[in-house]
Amino acid sequence: AQSVTQPDIHITVSEGASLELRCNYSYGATPYLFWYVQSPGQGLQLLLKYFSGDTLVQGIKGFEAEFKRSQSSFNLRKPSVHWSDAAEYFCAVGRGATNKLIFGTGTLLAVQP
C-alpha cells in the first residue's frame, strides 16, 4: 500500500541556517507528491507539489523540493530559515484513481533566534 514516511519528528534550526526536511514514499507508479505547512491553530497550506517534469520544484515562501525516484524521496529545502517558518510540515502522496491524499506523520520545526 502507498505510504509516506517522515523520519524526523522534531527539528530545531537557527534562524538564517539552511533546512532540509526528509520525506520518503512507497508507491508503485510515478507518485503525486505534496508538501503542506500548518502554522499553530491553522489548517494546512500547500507549499509545493510534484507530479511530472522537472524534478526540482519551487514553492511558496522560498521553499523547494527535489523528487528522487532512485531514493523514493521528496525532501523539502530552504536555504535560509526565518523565525516565521516555525510550524509543522507534512509530506503527502496522492493514492488511487481518485487521488486521495495520504499524509505523513509530520515534522515539527522550531527556529532558534
Partner 1 sequence: DVKVTQSSRYLVKRTGEKVFLECVQDMDHENMFWYRQDPGLGLRLIYFSYDVKMKEKGDIPEGYSVSREKKERFSLILESASTNQTSMYLCASRYDGTANSPLHFGNGTRLTVT
- 82-101 b/e with 16+ CB inside 10 Å = b? eeebbbbbbbbbbbeeeeee
Least separation in angstroms between residue 101's CB and partner 1 is: 6
Rule CB under 8 A: choose which of 81, 87, 106, 109 binds partner 1.
Answer: 106
- Find the part of the chain contacting partner 1 (CB under 8 A) among 20-28, 55-63, 73-81, 96-104: 96-104
> Within positions 25 to 44, which residues make up the interface with partner 1, using CB under 8 A?
32, 34, 36, 41-44
How many binding residues for partner 1 (CB under 8 A)? 25
- How far from 44 is each of 8, 13, 39, 48, 53, CA to CA, in Å? 19, 22, 8, 12, 25
DSSP β-bridge partners for residue 102: 93
Cα–Cα distance between 110 and 74 in angstroms, integer? Answer: 21
Least separation in angstroms between residue 96's CB and partner 1 is: 9
Where on the chain is the footprint of partner 1 (CB under 8 A)? Answer: 6, 9, 32, 34, 36, 41-46, 49, 51, 90, 94, 97-106
